[in-house]
Amino acid sequence: MRHLVILCPLVLFFSVTTIAQIAIPSPTPTPRPGSRQANVHPIVADNDSFDRMRSIEMITNRNSPIAHPMLDPKKGIYRRPSKEETASLAVAEPLLVKHAELLRDKNAGIVKLNADSSCVSDVDVVVATEKCIPFKMPGAGIAYSFRTESYRLPRLADLILHDGIFKTGGAFQQVIMADLGDLPLEAVTLGTNGLKFLTDLKPVSDSNEFTKFEQEIVSGIKKDGFFYRKGQLAKENTTYVLRSIAYRGKYMRSVEGVDYDELEFDRRRDTIVAFRVVEKDPAGNMTILWKRLKDAESPVLKIVK
């Protein structure tokens, strides 16, 4: 199977690569200089972001038919995985019982994230090794979208577990998160301390503002006693909050001659979610309980020429 080829040079701060640049406070693992995971795309320099984003405007939509197995809505790389595929990351029954009351809420859920990011390939398919066979779902179970309530490819996800760190961000997307500490998830509302910065945050209007704010949240923003950034150390019995702004637009890709807009396979929303790590198993996989606090239509990002 040939690699997917991006039609434009825009790889919009794919979370795993962007967060690789962030210095997480000790004891967060720090990559060795010059090293990168086999599944991680090459890091794209921030100062090239304007040209990458402007290239979206130059793309001509060829209206090619979506006729390729990898784009099949039921079997392709954008599918919602089946129960059989997610069985390897099934949430423990005692946790389902313990949190049954919250899980009755249509805006709440629970999911286990795979700690082994080596099973994610740079060609959007799961690595064909014996240890990766159980993780056939998109993104090999390391990435989750609260917008679609499903495992996703990392560049379409809101949350990624990578080397013991929660990372965020994706194509045409800005995500910022904060650690609220050991706070019961049921107690978190839009009025909880730590939420004001996220609720007051206004989406950027154009590519210039996008690039500027992206640099800010990579470094981190201190506000009201909290530290907001694109990555946080993943800790058991800890509650986090994030805001994911998945801007609308076009993100053109090609697979074996078939051109298509990848964002047509995604639910683009502006959402605020609180989540809590309720279990870390011996393999390092983390079960998170989550609830959506706000969900709104996302804006279109204007590309400045």
- Of all residues in the chain, the percent with pLDDT exceeding 90 is 61
- Do the domain assignments include residue 302? no
SS3 297: strand
Lowest mean pLDDT among 46-50, 129-133, 188-192, 195-199: 46-50
Task: Evaluate if residue 132 carries a pLDDT over 90.
Answer: no
- Residues 221-237: tens digit of each pLDDT: 999 999 999 999 999 99
| pLDDT number for residue 257 | 85
Q: Which two tokens stand for residue 215?
A: 């640099």
Chain mean position to CA 1: 25
**Residue with more model confidence, 169 or 264:** 264
In a domain, 195, yes or no: yes
Scanning the structure block, which residue is given the tokens 């402007």? 54
- For residue 271, what are the β-bridge partners? 244, 295
Looking at the 3D structure of the chain, how many domains does it have? 1
Q: Region 87-116: what's the mean pLDDT?
A: 97
- Summarised one tens digit per residue, pLDDT across range 257-299 is 889 999 999 999 999 999 999 999 999 999 999 999 999 999 9
305 within a domain of the structure (yes/no)? no
Q: What distances in angstroms separate CA 43 from CA 13, 39, 162, 217, 233, one per listed residue?
A: 8, 12, 15, 16, 21
SS (H, E, C) 64-90: CCCCCHHHCCCCCCCCCCCHHHHHHHC
Domain containing 270 equals 5-297
Residue 18 in this model has a pLDDT that exceeds 70 = no
Q: Is residue 272 part of a domain?
A: yes
User: Is residue 204 domain-resident?
Assistant: yes
